[in-house]
Amino acid sequence: MTKSIHLTLAAVGVLAVAACASGSGGNGGGSSSGPVGVVQIAAYSGDQAFEAQFSASIDYPALYAVNHGGGVLGRQVSLIQVDTRSDPADALAAMGKTLATTGNVAAVLGPDSTSAATLVPLLNTRHLPMMIAAGEAAYDRSSYAYLWRDVPPDPANGEAIALWAKRQGYTSVATVFGTDTGSQGDLPGVLTGVKAVGVRLADQENLTPDQPSYRSSVERLLAAKPQAVITESDGPTAATFFGELRQLGSLLPIIGTSGTPSDSYFSPLRGAIGDAAFGTYFRAVVVGNPVSNPAVAAFNADVLAVQGKLSKPVSQWENNSFSESGYDAMITLALAMDAAHSTDGTAYNNDIMAVTAPAAGKEIVYTYAAGRAALAAGHKIQYIGASGPLLFDKYHNSFGSQAVEKFPANAPAVVVGTITQAQVQALNG
């Protein structure tokens, strides 16, 4: 018994010494020289490891833009990756360790849906401005001063899809959603939206991911005779389901949510139903900028500049609205720091709104370099990003219009329709 107590105490002592020895314990942009740290919180391992490639498509182009545009206050920005391991407990430990051992954290990209509930209060207390990637409607009316969101909440995308379906003249639709995390997020919005626009919901299929066959679900769907299918799931599930649908000779219009455009979804699905059918039947309603502006060109150029660090094929990231939103978020944070002449969240948090809100007399900029130069010259700026203008409301939420896109083979996406923020909000009454 005595021996084990000694062993335990020794072990605790070792841990304490190791932990103390490895960090200065600072937090929140306290240092004033050396690189500026931006934390990216995402799942780099575990069930949601697919987040890693999306994060890469945001971080590296944005970092490139900022660092090659002169850096923040003359300092380079460095990326600090925090792995949630797809689990809130691991996310908390990893964030804690990062805050304990890294003294120059100035801003946070994230948290994601898995870790938001656990990490948002912590980061807010630390006065670390965060651009969250969590779509939960809970943050629509957030009271956290340091929380910002430039992607629409999950329900908004679903409602836009319903509006598009109505616009196309469909009177009955079916939903096909995977039961995995990430696919279910949009479903409540779709259901509310479909009901609100008066389209009939003929069938609802919930698919357990990665089964070898969904024949029964496919047959049931066809028996309900919908005119279109609204869907989100992971790639393999979609490939199996729609592949079987095609085998029966019964493909019909498919509307994917904003979570669908990515190679990991398109590639299996294209393989299963063929490129021609994919171009004809598949549409996705994506959040983001349907109009080309100089920021989009800058984004695409930056993506190509860092393509060595991104998942192949690189073309999936060009014009990718989710990546564009994250890219804009990082650039906004950097511009806010420049405007406030500080990397301390307490000082620059309010400048986030200041550099993005439209007002008379402001200089409009589309790239980091231009914005930094304008600020240095003493002008007030409005940054318009690759995902469009960032119009943060009083709850620090901004979401713009959503685009309906089709995807011909070997060609970039083509926008075939737009649904505005106003139209979506009208649905909510």
Partner 1 sequence: MSFYASTLIVYFFVDVLLAWALNLQFGWGGIPNFALIMFQAAGAYAAAVVSLGPDTGVNSFQRYVFGASLPFPLPLVIAALTGGLLAAVAGSFSLRRMRRDYQAAILLIVSLIAIQVVSNAVGLLNGSNGLTGVPRPLSGLLSGLTYDGYQWVYAAWAGAIALAVYLLVARLGRSTWGRALRAVRDDEDAAATIGLNPLGLRMQAFVLGGVIAGLSGGLLVEFLAAWSPAAWGYAETFAVFTAIILGGVGNIWGVALGTLLVQVIFLQVPTFLPQVGYTGLIDALQWVLIGTLWLVCLAIRPRGLIPARRYHAVPPAPGPGTGNPR
Partner 2 sequence: MLILQALGFGVVSAALIAIGAMGFTLQFGLTNVLNISYGGVMTVGAFAAFGAGELHLPMALEVAAAPLAAALLTWLLGRTLFAFYARRGAGVFEMVMVTLAVSLILQYGIDAASGEQIYRFSFPQGASLHAGVFTFTVTQLVLVALALAVFGGLEFLLRRTRLGKALRAMAVEPRLARTCGIPTGKIVNVVWLLSGALAGLAGLGYVINSLTIDASVGTGFLPLVLAAAILGRAGSTRGAVLAALLLGLVTEEVAAAGGAEYSTVAGFGILAIVLLTRPAALAGQATAKAEITV
Binding site for partner 2 (CB under 8 A): 45, 49-50, 52, 179, 205-208, 210-217, 219-220, 223, 234-236, 239-240, 243, 247-248, 264, 267-268, 271-272
Backbone dihedral angles phi then psi of residue 136, each to the nearest 5 degrees? -60, 140
CB environment 282-298: b (16+ within 10 A), e (fewer): bbbbbbbbbeebebbeb
Question: For residue 251, how far is the Cα from the chain centroid?
Answer: 30
For 60, 62, 132, 235, the CA distances from 324, given in Å and listed in that order, are 12, 9, 14, 22
Pick one of 70, 76, 100, 354: the residue that binds partner 1 (CB under 8 A).
Answer: 100
Q: Is 420 in the site for partner 1 (CB under 8 A)?
A: no
Give the x-and-dash track for 102-121 against partner 1 (CB under 8 A). -----------xxxxxx--x
Amino acid at site 79: L
Q: How far is the CB of 109 from partner 2 (least distance, A)?
A: 21
Q: How far is the CB of 162 from partner 1 (least distance, A)?
A: 12
Nearer to partner 1 by Cβ, of 175 and 319: the residue is 175
Q: How far is the CB of 401 from partner 1 (least distance, A)?
A: 22
Total residues contacting partner 1 (rule CB under 8 A)? 66
Nearer to partner 2 by Cβ, of 211 and 425: the residue is 211
Q: How far is the CB of 156 from partner 2 (least distance, A)?
A: 26
142 binds, among partner 1, partner 2, none (CB under 5 to 8 A by kind): none
Q: How far is the CB of 354 from partner 2 (least distance, A)?
A: 40
214 binds, among partner 1, partner 2, none (CB under 5 to 8 A by kind): partner 2
Contact between 336 and 392 under an 8 Å Cβ cutoff? The reply is: no
Which pairs from 11-16 meet CB under 8 Å and 24+ separation? none
* Cα distance between residue 236 and residue 45, in whole Å: 19
Q: Is 203 in the site for partner 1 (CB under 8 A)?
A: no
Is residue 380 helix, strand or coil?
coil
Nearer to partner 2 by Cβ, of 151 and 273: the residue is 273
Residues 6+ apart with CB under 8 A from 400: 152, 287, 288, 289, 387, 388, 389, 391, 421
Q: Is 15 in the site for partner 1 (CB under 8 A)?
A: yes
Is residue 62 helix, strand or coil?
helix
**Other residues' Cβ atoms within 10 Å of the Cβ of residue 240:** 23
Total count of residues recorded for the chain: 429
Q: In what order do the strands lie in the sheet with 254-256?
A: 200-207, 172-178, 228-232, 254-256, 282-287, 402-406, 414-419
426 binds, among partner 1, partner 2, none (CB under 5 to 8 A by kind): none
* Cα distance between residue 352 and residue 332, in whole Å: 6
Q: How far is the CB of 181 from partner 1 (least distance, A)?
A: 4
**Is the backbone peptide bond immediately before 111 cis, with ω within 30 degrees of 0?**
yes
Nearer to partner 1 by Cβ, of 55 and 382: the residue is 55
93 binds, among partner 1, partner 2, none (CB under 5 to 8 A by kind): partner 1
For binding to partner 1 (CB under 8 A), which residues are involved?
A: 1, 3-5, 7-8, 11-12, 14-16, 18-20, 22-23, 25, 43-49, 52, 81, 83, 85-89, 92-94, 96-97, 99-101, 113-118, 121-122, 125-126, 136-138, 154-155, 179-181, 184-185, 188-189, 191-192, 206, 208
